[in-house]
Chains A and B, each alone.
Chain A
Amino acid sequence: MHKSRLHYLLLSIVILLTASACGPSLVLQDVDYSQPLESVLVPDTEQNIHDQRYAVKFSISSLLMEEGLSEIDKIHMIRNRAGFYFITASGFNNVYIFTPGASTLELVEKILVAENGISEPAFNQRDTYIELIDRNNGETYNLNYSK
């Protein structure tokens, strides 16, 4: 009897220690990641962009390759409420939606918006969606993505 109690105690201690080693499990709900204004960024010579205001930087060379372009003047980028990055550029046919990971941006969706490339894109943050406008012809697209 005395021995089983001791075993039980030791097991509890082990479980407790193991549980604590697994890390915190606190989840904060209804986080709003929305970026009030789009970031319009000029790539450097090595096709890297750096958004100093929202502190993110990465290479767009894969994106350009995906679009079949060698270079662009500016990248338009915005983050929605859910935290997904919407990226496009003048001459792109698509809007790319990425989710941030550990040192990564993972593509979750690619939306075709113009067969021959959108000419003057601009993202606007709206209450429940991201508005994409083509300032050249006035076309508007309301986009959203959430998991």
Chain B
Amino acid sequence: MYTLTKVTLSFIAILYLLIPGQLLAQQSDFQITQEFRAEYNELINRVSNAISTEELDEISEEISAFEAQYAEHSSLINAAIYPDTFDSYLEVLESNFNTVNANISVIDQLNSRVEVLVNEMDQFRDRISEMNQEMGTLEDQIEKSSENESRQATLIRQYRLNLDQRDVFVSEFLEELVERYQNMDSSVRSEISESSERLQDNPIDILKTILSEYIELASSEISLDLPDYVSMRAQQAYFMDVWDRIGTRLVETFAPQQSEAEKAEIDELLESWLEAIDGNLWATLLVSFSENEIELEPFSSSEEFNRSLNSYVDESYEASLESNRDEDYQKFLNFSSFWNNTVKANWGELLTTGNVLSYSDISAIDIKLNNWGEAASTTSNIMFILLIVSIAVIVGLVVLLVTKKS
């Protein structure tokens, strides 16, 4: 219990050093701590809201100045913010700064990556657009020059060239996509995903555009040759392979909210593209064989084409075994020539990459062709030998008759 001892109440130290009118720039300790808190909170907020390294550099300098300014008042500040301390506050500020700095570095890298992507998409879009314009012009010209066969042929050659250039360009684009996204881990994918909203067109949109244009090309009424359609099929097969490898990653990166729907859409476009190609391919293939006097059973798929080929060779082989006519041999020579010099030599690689015929399919035909050749040619040789023998016998008989008579 406190008691005030009045006996010795002393006024000796009252009004010690009364100094009115002293115009010093005096500070209030309370004000210093208030200002410390206010500036500290402002720095914390600015660090949290910083979005660039330049901004952080500026804040870093201000933090250093802040620390220097209030270091001399640290004991006062410690009393004001107890149980926290001036040093602990600065540690928190530094920790926040370092965290934000690390995040912004990642963001800067992502921004650079997105910028590169945006530029690439822009360049790709511009180039494809150019190609489309060129091909559109060519299509018009081809249509208009239908009466002038040589001009039309020139234009179609140019059209084919443009198709090839386009394929090369798209293939390079796909290769880049594969290289970039095939081995990307999920953390990088999610980082890109957040930034990809800034892309006007992301790779998924570009792919859809490419596929739509390919479908249009494949359905075009411009008369192209078999190698053109087989080449398209090869391109489609390559596209399918790329899509199998990176499709899931691409949709999860650039369309995470509707990845399944986007994947399904691209799958559908790839199917439609194949259908558009096949719509022209099988008919052209049948005609190509027919023009070389090889009448195959009609077909509308790779399997049916292979069956039709095998069926033709098998039937011809059987016929050669049974009748052994010269016509059968000519038929063999005709097929063999077309098969080796055109189908295998000119179209072989395209047929395999376009999944029209596999290497084993081609080998099987080769073996059958060999057997057919033996069956067709052996009979002919025997016939020839028999003919010679017959003639020799006849000549011999005639000589004998003549000598006998004389």
Q: Mark A136-147, 1 if CB is under 8 A from B, else 0.
A: 011111111111
> A-side binding surface: helix, strand, loop or mixed?
strand
CB <8 Å contact, B2 and A38: no
B325 CB, nearest partner CB in chain A, Å: 118
Q: Mark A16-57, 1 if CB is under 8 A from B, else 0.
A: 000000000000000000001110100000000000000000
Residue of A109, A133, A146 contacting most chain B CB atoms (<10 Å): A133
Q: Which residue of A lies closest to B11 (CB)?
A: A109
The answer to whether the Cβ of A68 comes within 8 Å of any Cβ in the partner chain is no
CB <8 Å contact, A129 and B17: yes
Whole-angstrom CA separation of A140 from B28 in the bound complex: 11
Task: Report chain A residues within 8 Å CB of B327.
Answer: none
Whole-angstrom CA separation of A109 from B28 in the bound complex: 23
Given the known interface contacts A36-B76, A36-B79, A147-B10, the answer about A133 and B26 at a Cβ–Cβ threshold of 8 Å is yes
Which B1-20 residues have a C-beta within 8 angstroms of A?
1-2, 4-5, 8-11, 13-20
The answer to whether the Cβ of B29 comes within 8 Å of any Cβ in the partner chain is yes
Whole-angstrom CA separation of A54 from B371 in the bound complex: 110
Task: Report chain A residues within 8 Å CB of B24.
Answer: 138, 140
Of B4, B10, B22, B33, the contact of A101 (CB 8 Å cutoff): B4
Whole-angstrom CA separation of A89 from B355 in the bound complex: 94
Which A47-106 residues have a C-beta within 8 angstroms of B?
99-102, 106
CB <8 Å contact, A138 and B4: no
Given the known interface contacts A101-B4, A140-B24, the answer about A111 and B79 at a Cβ–Cβ threshold of 8 Å is no
Q: Mark A109-124, 1 if CB is under 8 A from B, else 0.
A: 1010000000000111
B179 CB, nearest partner CB in chain A, Å: 64
CB <8 Å contact, A106 and B28: no
CB <8 Å contact, A138 and B29: no
> B-side binding surface: helix, strand, loop or mixed?
loop
Count residues on chain A whose CB falls below 8 Å from chain B CBs: 31
CB <8 Å contact, A139 and B28: no
Whole-angstrom CA separation of A101 from B5 in the bound complex: 12
CB <8 Å contact, A109 and B30: no
Q: Mark B295-335, 1 if CB is under 8 A from A, else 0.
A: 00000000000000000000000000000000000000000
CB <8 Å contact, A40 and B30: yes
Of A129, A133, A135, A139, the contact of B16 (CB 8 Å cutoff): A129
Whole-angstrom CA separation of A138 from B24 in the bound complex: 6
The answer to whether the Cβ of B80 comes within 8 Å of any Cβ in the partner chain is yes
Task: Report chain B residues within 8 Å CB of A145.
Answer: 13-14
Task: Report chain A residues within 8 Å CB of B16.
Answer: 129, 142-144
Whole-angstrom CA separation of A123 from B26 in the bound complex: 11
Whole-angstrom CA separation of A83 from B35 in the bound complex: 28
CB <8 Å contact, B80 and A37: yes
Task: Report chain B residues within 8 Å CB of A141.
Answer: 18-20
The answer to whether the Cβ of B25 comes within 8 Å of any Cβ in the partner chain is yes
Task: Report chain B residues within 8 Å CB of A144.
Answer: 13-14, 16
CB <8 Å contact, B9 and A147: yes
The answer to whether the Cβ of B83 comes within 8 Å of any Cβ in the partner chain is no
CB <8 Å contact, B14 and A109: yes
Given the known interface contacts A122-B28, A138-B25, A140-B26, the answer about A37 and B33 at a Cβ–Cβ threshold of 8 Å is yes
CB <8 Å contact, B2 and A140: no
Q: Mark B387-398, 1 if CB is under 8 A from A, else 0.
A: 000000000000
The answer to whether the Cβ of B360 comes within 8 Å of any Cβ in the partner chain is no
Q: Which residue of A lies closest to B75 (CB)?
A: A36
CB <8 Å contact, A125 and B29: yes
The answer to whether the Cβ of B31 comes within 8 Å of any Cβ in the partner chain is yes
Task: Report chain B residues within 8 Å CB of A102.
Answer: 1-2
CB <8 Å contact, A137 and B23: yes
A53 CB, nearest partner CB in chain B, Å: 9
CB <8 Å contact, B5 and A140: no
Whole-angstrom CA separation of A125 from B15 in the bound complex: 16
User: Could you show 21 A-B contacts with beta carbons less than 8 Å apart?
Assistant: A37-B33, A37-B80, A38-B29, A40-B30, A99-B4, A101-B2, A124-B28, A131-B26, A133-B28, A135-B28, A138-B22, A138-B23, A138-B26, A139-B21, A139-B22, A140-B19, A142-B16, A145-B13, A145-B14, A147-B8, A147-B10
Nearest first, the 7 A-B pairs at minimum CB distance are A122-B28, A36-B79, A133-B26, A142-B17, A138-B23, A124-B29, A140-B22
Can you name 13 extra interface pairs (CB under 8 A) apart from A36-B29, A37-B79, A144-B13? A36-B75, A36-B80, A37-B29, A37-B80, A99-B4, A102-B1, A122-B28, A122-B29, A122-B30, A122-B31, A131-B26, A141-B18, A142-B16
